[in-house]
Structure 1
């Protein structure tokens, strides 16, 4: 076998080999250098990067929600308005809309999209500055949770490293769950669920394709694409999202076109806090913040269940508004329009009214804005514009407006009260079927304030609370925070204390001159009507609200004893330890006094008012639950006797207007010196309610404005409404209360010539044993009572 001959290499061949070797070596060196450089960059920027493991335990700030007694949402508290929803509850169409809009290759890349980065880099190079980011959804998650959002290349490198790590550690579904719950979408909404409720008043499951595209268009610039403020820009962005979805074959072109042409109903989110029960929920907010702190209140996602009833709250608000307006009209003339619009201002204003009426139609009974168009003195009517509708104000309904500022004189020239262009308040009475015009009455905002609170018998649940005329103008809660003199509304506490000191409803009290004097002062109290009535039975003294009789009782039982008795009934305010306490001279809150009256209705048991029935944390764990605790503070017989005595206040005393409720009721009026405060505290077997009327800065409510005139109408309107579907109940006497015939004049057992015999109730063992033998004249010693110290 012959050996093969080696063919010697030419110089050219050797040169080529050397070049390839050198090129390979250079490529290897470059590759190694790039790798080492990349590794060095990676190591450099990896130092101190945030730990991504906490994302697995994602617990963002969540809304605290407040509910009524029937689980209606009535308030929300939050720093970031976010409703967290699991990935499984986010509609597939909404996910596709966001992916198409923000990161089309989301399900393909590993956290960063090199194509997008190159494209953004070219754009930035052309502009000479950072104008485009090319961020993926994963990178946007990093912006939300881990890094600041400034546009610097150093930060982008860190972001890319973290994005790669997150993509390896989390599923795509997990990343979308974080993103769609955390991202800010404008107008205080964080996450898609809050945004859906914000813009459309819907849950995620209720969203249409068109609405989903609107939401998906928001992340880039929530303010610029807000459908509230910039609807046309929002529509342009919506079209972009729909086109991208069609390009990616998430939807068909036909679906995209139909969605774009769909008419959107943008619904500004209802302000639950203001709309429903603002004073109530603010009281709840203060309590929760004080007990659990701001962090848990505003970020903890609590569920707070309350005792409030929304329908009863509406009835209370309506009654307060009506009562204050009637009071205002009794004493003040028309104070003038809200504004007078110039001719070129009227049409734009009416167009705005028309736009508002598209969302909410005019409803009978509402008080709305109107613009005066024409005053017809001959027809004695005023025509106004209500937006797209018109209305008529008859002069016959405006007589109150003729009162002059001094409230002593009137003017018959009602045509001068208004002029064309005046912006006014009117009440919608009814719509005339023939003309299509609304019949209207002129209104104005009252200056007085009022408060109302209602407790449920047996539970102490606070079913309604009004803390003032308008929460928007004043958040001060006059039902809880204000302490005003209750006047005669405090007297039942004195009378209850007397019953436990041996008095009976038939005890005779001398209603006569009383003088209190010491080295510094001399006090001569008087009855409301400035008269003296001599011997008076206790029942009549309370029914007629006799001041002098009540002072005699307090002087007899002792001030200190009465103060301690009031505390037993739930009065926590400091009470002045002197005889003026009989006339309600010490300030108390409406809530305190209502609690005290509830003891009489609850058969002698003190039940603390309950605002919150239950609080759950975001995981459903119970933080607290109201337990109804009953503490017996007075005898059941005393409680019933007081109820019976206050029924007489309603039947024949200072509260006869209450008889219009047409069911058993008990209560007491209260009016303070100089007519600064008007009260009515009353109850039925079902509910206890208290009302107060007055000015924040004390001044007279007006001539003859007493509890019976200013406060009872509010109480009555409210109680009528909440009882309209309830069966009529009576107050049941306990076994240790007996009834006996007595002489209506003397309180003793009747004799054959007794003029008037009545049945009276007594605790067992306290029925009179003496027969009536009354002298027609009062002894000299009873004509004048003087106490010196």
Structure 2
């Protein structure tokens, strides 16, 4: 029994020790884990310190600067940038502006050492009271550290890094140096980085010209630049401005009287003329490709280069507008394709919010096109109420007349099986005829984005400088540059090259050819029978009449007579580099060319036989004005009726001066001036009485030629005056017929004519001057022979001296 009791006592003793042992073990384990965590954190912390970026480089702050692209008159026509910024020294920034940003963003900036501990406590209390994060506590120094040295990730580790770097920055940099970085680095909305560019963007003035009201409005932007934008939300911008003014009064930077005056100051949004990169996009992309290959991406986008180009800003604007308007006319002739989509009633508000976010001003721009939603239909009158973002307007039946009869339904959903009808919730494109007032009352016209494409290129024939270039309807939707990259059949627009070769071979404008059906062995079962476009055969015609009326059969017969190789040789001399078909179909433009190639060939004719080299860039300088490259102005061959060709250049004043210096871009003589003049004279007849009569609207001497390919897949018009040559192509990327009105004279010539009317506005009217070796004589167009004075039907024809035909009866 005793033994048994003894064992019980031992067991009880062991039982009493067990809980303490367990707790001790747990404590030791927890201490071990804590030690591991501490060691791990310490290791991570020291590793993080070692990996933190150096703040020393901020002492030599060089942010990305906008590279500017300038037109031929020095005006700004484009920009290349990663961040759109203009750097301004801190001593050029008004003290009031510095105080405004400090008051609004970091009131203790001049007292703290990078971290505002009092601000952290204050923000924490406010956030606890409001039960949500309502206020942050990052100092200006921390914001600079985040912007310049860290990523924008949201994590505790980044906040720790930010605080450490801020402390380091305060030891390395003065307060003014930190402010210099901050005020030039900060994003202030509307694509503007830094206070200088923001001042220009919103108020059209330099930062040193801002008044207190404008200063307070700028200082209110960092919290939410888009939400407080004075361009889009002036009411919210004024609220934020008032907050900044209150903070400035509280900090003692201004008096209450100054704040009151600033509140009552009328804010005028007068941004400097913004670069319309949309209208210049294809031109800019061409030079971007060239210069990025030469200077590298880093230098082009960050180092503030100045790129001087051949672009004429007004011509470029005119080219863009003419292509847009011309394509819409071509497209509308094919009919209304129906709404872009149909929305359910519950989807309308969200869709309109997305549209509103894309509108960059307080009102809709006249002439611009937007996507709108039909919200009301008057089936009796046929008028529609259309909502564009947060705005409403009226689309009258008259302003959608081009669409023909369209089914209307006062309900949501498709009103017809084909999906071309309009109902509530229908999303359509509308252009603004009368802008909205107070977000209501706009007058719209029905519109639709064209499916066809177009290209236009304009060249100064005396220099080769490309004055304007558009490669498609919308660069944002397609970066394919059809002016330079698209190879399409030129059709009859190639005929002047054939006729030039014929003149070089000794034929004359009075040479007679028989316009009659003909067939050729094609090597296939079926013979090739070229046909005239109008299926009319005119019998004997002169070369002038054949080109004027674009007679296909005669063009083929001319090519047959002079030989295909002669025509190909002439084409290459004129600037055609694409492969050409070595057969008689070449006479009808069967070989694909780019608009730039064909326009260059015409420019050779316009310059009197000198082939220019198209170029885009004249000079490039770095941010300090050092010239990196410069192209001397190519020498210009000039002819008049009493002298032979001389080479001269355009000086900076616009006057012409002689120069003996050689230039690789100088136009190269490839054709006699006599031949160039005569083919130009023949193409004047195309405009005055042939297929290119739309160009007569210019009211000045014009030479040109239309081109239309089989099934109207391609439409062309290339034409020129002595000062400018331009080529227009219209067609679908995936070849198909342009349909009704798709010929060169109907689809391309109107675009060309509208562009040239704008481009030549203010330019003096010039005649095409004949070289001294060109003579004029009366001929009988039925025989091609010299006619007596007063002979019935006689016409004046031009010849190279010595090639005049004989008189009748000789």
What is the TM-score normalised by the length of structure 1?
A: 0.77
Q: Which moved more, 1:253-262 or 1:445-454?
A: 253-262
Q: Secondary structure at the match of 1:623?
A: strand
CA-atom RMSD in angstroms = 4.4
The residue aligned with 1:698 is 735
Contact 2:66 2:303 in 1 (8 A): yes
Q: Return the alpha-carbon distance in structure 2 between the equivalents of residues 625 and 337 of structure 1.
A: 51
Counting only pairs closer than 5 Å after superposition, residues 546-557 of structure 1 correspond to structure 2 as 546-557=551-562
Identify which of 535, 541, 553 aligns with 1:530.
535
What is the aligned partner in structure 1 of residue 678 from structure 2?
641
SS at match of 1:553: helix
Find out whether 1:460 has 2:464 as its counterpart.
yes
How far apart are the structure 1 equivalents of 2:122 and 2:421? Answer: 71
Match for residue 11 of structure 1? none
How much has 1:458 moved relative to structure 2?
2.2
Q: How does 1:362-511 map to 2 (within 5 A)?
A: 363=366, 369=372, 371=374, 373-375=376-378, 382=383, 384=385, 387=391, 389-390=393-394, 392-394=396-398, 398=401, 401-402=404-405, 418-419=422-423, 422-426=426-430, 442-511=446-515
552-561 or 268-277: which moved more?
268-277
Q: Find 2:72's aligned residue among 50, 69, 72.
A: 69
Shift of 1:559: 2.4
Distance (whole Å) between structure 1 residues aligned to residue 156 and residue 213 of structure 2: 32
**C-alpha deviation, 1:47, in angstroms:** 7.6
- Give the structure 1 partner of residue 725 of structure 2: 688
What CA distance in whole angstroms lies between the structure 2 residues aligned with 1:750 and 1:163? 94
Query: 8 Å contact 2:233–2:362 — kept in the other structure?
Result: no
Distance in 1 (alpha carbons) for counterparts of 2:514 and 2:737:
31
Structure 1 residue 647: deviation in Å?
A: 0.8
| Closer/same/farther in 2, CA of residues 182 and 554 from structure 1, 3 Å limit | same
* Contact 2:370 2:430 survives alignment (8 Å): yes
Partner of 2:747 in structure 1? 710
Residue from 765, 777, 784 that aligns with 1:747: 784
Judge conservation of contact 2:621–2:629 (CA < 8 Å) in 1: yes
Among candidates 165, 172, 187, match of residue 166 of structure 1: 172
Distance in 1 (CA, whole Å) between partners of 2:571 and 2:85 is 47
SS for the counterpart of 2:496 is helix
Partners of 2:406 and 2:421 within 8 A in 1: no
Determine whether 1:336 maps to 2:351.
no
State the structure with more CA Rg.
1
Tell whether 2:638 aligns with 1:632: no
Aligned to 1:40: none
The aligned counterpart of 1:409 is none
Aligned twin of 2:567: 562
Map of 1:205 onto structure 2: 208
- Which residue of 2 is the match for residue 20 of structure 1? none
Q: Distance in 1 between matches of 2:114 and 2:614?
A: 59
Match of 1:670 in 2: 707
Structure 2 residue aligned with 1:608: 613
What is the Cα deviation at residue 646 of structure 1?
0.4
- In structure 2, what is the equivalent of residue 410 of structure 1? none
Alpha-carbon distance, 1:224 to partner = 8.3
Tell whether 2:671 aligns with 1:655: no
Instruction: Report the counterpart of residue 597 of structure 2 in structure 1.
Output: 592
- Structure 2 equivalent of residue 298 of structure 1: 301
Structure 1 stretch displaced more, 199-208 or 483-492: 199-208
Q: 1:539 is matched with which residue: 541, 544, 549?
A: 544
Q: Provide the secondary structure at the position in 2 that maps to 1:451.
A: strand
Offset, 1:57: 3.6
Within 5 Å, give how 1:92-107 maps onto structure 2.
92-104=95-107, 106-107=109-110
SS of the equivalent of 1:567 reads helix
Deviation of the 1:486 alpha carbon: 0.4
1:109-155 CA-to-partner distances (Å, cap 9, x unmatched) read 6x557xx3476489899999x99997664565455445678755974
Return the alpha-carbon distance in structure 1 between the equivalents of residues 742 and 683 of structure 2.
Answer: 21
Aligned to 2:795, the other structure's residue is in SS state strand
Give SS of 2:396's match. Answer: strand
Match of 2:758 among 714, 721, 735: 721
Q: Secondary structure at the match of 2:797?
A: strand
Residues 366, 99 of structure 1: alpha-carbon distance in 2 compared, 3 angstrom cutoff: closer
CA contact (8 A) 2:394 2:444 kept: no
**Aligned residue number for residue 61 of structure 2:** 58
**Paired residue secondary structure (2:463):** coil
Q: Does the CA contact (< 8 Å) of 2:306 and 2:620 recur in 1?
A: yes
Moved more, 480-489 or 339-348: 339-348
Alpha-carbon separation, structure 1, partners of 2:332 and 2:189: 45
Please give the alpha-carbon distance, in whole angstroms, between the structure 2 residues aligned to 1:399 and 1:65: 42
Name which of 308, 311, 315 aligns with 2:311.
Answer: 308
**In 2 relative to 1, CA 704–57 (structure 1 residues): closer, same or farther, beyond 3 Å?**
closer
- Compute the displacement of 1:686 (Å): 2.5
Q: 1:389 to 1:753 in 2, by over 3 A?
A: closer
Task: State the match for 1:289 in structure 2.
Answer: 292
Counterpart Cα distance in 1 of 2:360 and 2:240: 28
Structure 2 unaligned blocks of 5 or more: 1-45, 408-419, 635-665
Q: Give the secondary structure class of the aligned counterpart of 2:505.
A: coil
User: Relative to 1, partners in 2 of residues 1:543 and 1:154: Cα closer, same or farther, differing over 3 Å?
Assistant: closer
Task: Deviation per CA, 1:247-283: give whole Å up to 9, x if none.
Answer: 3321112333554676767899997454432222222
> How far apart, CA to CA, are the structure 1 residues paired with 2:447 and 2:337?
10
Q: 1:182 to 1:446 in 2, by over 3 A?
A: closer
- 2:807 corresponds to which residue? 771
User: Are 1:117 and 1:133, in contact at CA under 8 Å, matched by a contact in 2?
Assistant: no
Long gaps (5+) in structure 1: 1-42, 405-415, 775-789
Question: 2:590 & 2:294 partners in 1: Cα distance?
Answer: 33
CA drift of 1:98 comes to 2.5
- Paired residues of 1:350 and 1:388 also in contact (CA < 8 A): no
Q: How far apart, CA to CA, are the structure 1 residues paired with 2:162 and 2:463?
A: 61
Cα separation, partners in 2 of 1:329 and 1:244, compared to 1, 3 Å:
closer
Query: Residues 124 and 131 of structure 1 are in contact (CA less than 8 Å); yes or no, is this contact kept in structure 2?
Result: no
Q: 1:368 and 1:155 mapped to 2: Cα distance?
A: 46
Distance 1:290 1:364, change over 3 A: closer
